[in-house]
Amino acid sequence: MTVLVLGATGKTGLSVVDALVARGVRVRAASRNPGPASAGVEPVRFDWADRATWGPALREIDGLYIVGPYALPGEPALVRDLLAAAPHASRVVLLSVLGVDRLPDVIPMAVWEADVRASGKEWTILRPNWFQQNFGEGFGTLLRENGMLALPAADAELGFVDTRDIAEVAAAALTEEGHAGETYILTGPEALMYDQVVRVLGEAAGRELRYIPISADQFADGLREAGLDEGSITWQLGLFRLIREGTNALVNDTVERITGRPARSLKSYASENAALWGSGPQA
Ligand SMILES: NC(=O)c1ccc[n+]([C@@H]2O[C@H](COP(=O)([O-])OP(=O)(O)OC[C@H]3O[C@@H](n4cnc5c(N)ncnc54)[C@H](OP(=O)(O)O)[C@@H]3O)[C@@H](O)[C@H]2O)c1
């Protein structure tokens, strides 16, 4: 069996590659700047924006893991076109997001979901909660450099999920029977406020880290100063509105039900990655 993993160098894709290789699946690992080859892994250049790259990536695949073209919001039909260009791929897993139906349609993720459902393939849609791995890049850099994280999340809770658990569910859906036609909401084992999260990360790193709740307007101003376009700002504000409304406090047992073991905790992610937040001016 050969599976094409899109976004193979990203937060979920890297782990999806590992999880498939562990199951003895041949993987084609796709991104614009592919990583190195390794046992069972053939890197391939794939760019959503360059259809000339699609054919070689899609050749003779049986399954497909899709991280959609979220940076190309003006082209909502790309996922539909890719599915049509992959007649041999009988199984497909789409990475979506918890609360997709209540988010602004700046990123056409609901359209991608509809296209996957209408594809005629054995599809599985994953709607994860926020990733624990967000504290590795992005938020992690802010914590390391400033010792604090300022977000418009008030004191809402989130069931942060480890991307390795998402990947193991994706690998199960791509290689086992019984997952076709399912939409899985994936969460970690507990709901935590940002205040609690940064405390866990700080304890692991041996330094004090702080969470500062800010308003949505303050957050948007910061994103504008950082050069983000208005569409991306609208998307980010939508994500944080859902958080404040309590949507992301959801915790369920889907990871455990599918993988046969409990979802990884934020505490274990923190202790494995303590070096990420340990340096910086306040270390
Ligand atoms: N972060 C969260 O908490 C969270 C929660 C739920 C859902 N999500 C969803 O997760 C998705 C992101 O997935 P991720 O975090 O696994 O990926 P990621 O870490 O954002 O990495 C993106 C991947 O896609 C590749 N890529 C970027 N632009 C591309 C293009 N034009 N053509 C082909 N490949 C391209 C990148 O590699 P190259 O740059 O080399 O191409 C990289 O491998 C988003 O749709 C987001 O909404 C995120």
pTM of the model: 0.97
Structural tokens at position 1: 């069996």
In DSSP notation, 29-85 reads EEESS----BTTEEEEE-BTTBGGGHHHHHTT-SEEEEE--TT-TT-TTHHHHHHHT
Residue with tokens 């692991």: 204
Ligand 1 atom, smallest distance to 163 CA = 16
The Cα 160–Cα 266 span in angstroms is 7
The residue whose CA is least distant from atom 24 of ligand 1 is 7
Mutation to probe ligand 1, out of 5, 17, 27, 31 (largest number of atoms < 8 A from CB): 31
Q: Give yes or no for residue 69 having a pLDDT over 80.
A: yes
The Cα 214–Cα 237 span in angstroms is 12
pLDDT at 182: 98
pLDDT at 138: 85
- Asked if residues 283 and 212 have their Cβ atoms less than 8 Å apart, the reply is no
Q: Give yes or no for residue 170 having a pLDDT over 50.
A: yes
Q: Which domains occur in the chain, in start order?
A: 2-128+163-186+250-260 (3.40.50.720)
81-97 pLDDT, tens digit each: 999 999 999 999 999 99
The residue whose CA is least distant from atom 41 of ligand 1 is 32
**% of the chain beyond a pLDDT of 70:** 98
pLDDT at 268: 98
Q: Give yes or no for residue 248 having a pLDDT over 50.
A: yes
176-235 pLDDT, tens digit each: 999 999 999 999 999 999 999 999 999 999 999 999 999 999 999 999 999 999 999 999
The Cα 152–Cα 243 span in angstroms is 9
Whole-number average pLDDT of the chain: 96
The Cα 238–Cα 138 span in angstroms is 18
In DSSP notation, 215-246 reads -HHHHHHHHHHTT--HHHHHHHHHHHHHHHHT
Q: Give yes or no for residue 115 having a pLDDT over 90.
A: yes
Show the CA angle centred on residue 52, arms to residues 127 and 114, nearest 5°.
Answer: 25
Mutation to probe ligand 1, out of 27, 32, 54, 255 (largest number of atoms < 8 A from CB): 32
pLDDT at 278: 86
The Cα 137–Cα 209 span in angstroms is 16
Report, as an integer, the average pLDDT of 44-64.
98
Measured in angstroms, how far is the CA atom of residue 34 from the centroid of ligand 1? 13
Measured in angstroms, how far is the CA atom of residue 7 from the centroid of ligand 1? 6
Ligand 1 atom, smallest distance to 72 CA = 31
3-38 pLDDT, tens digit each: 999 999 999 999 999 999 999 999 999 999 999 999
The residue whose CA is least distant from atom 37 of ligand 1 is 31
pLDDT at 137: 84
Residue with tokens 């990360």: 201
Strand partners, 123: 92
Q: How many CA atoms lie within 13 A of 206 on its CB side?
A: 6
Report, as an integer, the average pLDDT of 269-282.
82
Pocket residues: Cβ below 6 A from ligand 1 = 7-13, 31-33, 46-49, 67-71, 95, 97, 128, 130-131, 134
pLDDT at 282: 44
Report, as an integer, the average pLDDT of 111-139.
97
Q: How would residue 280 be classed by pLDDT, with cut points 50, 70 and 90?
A: low
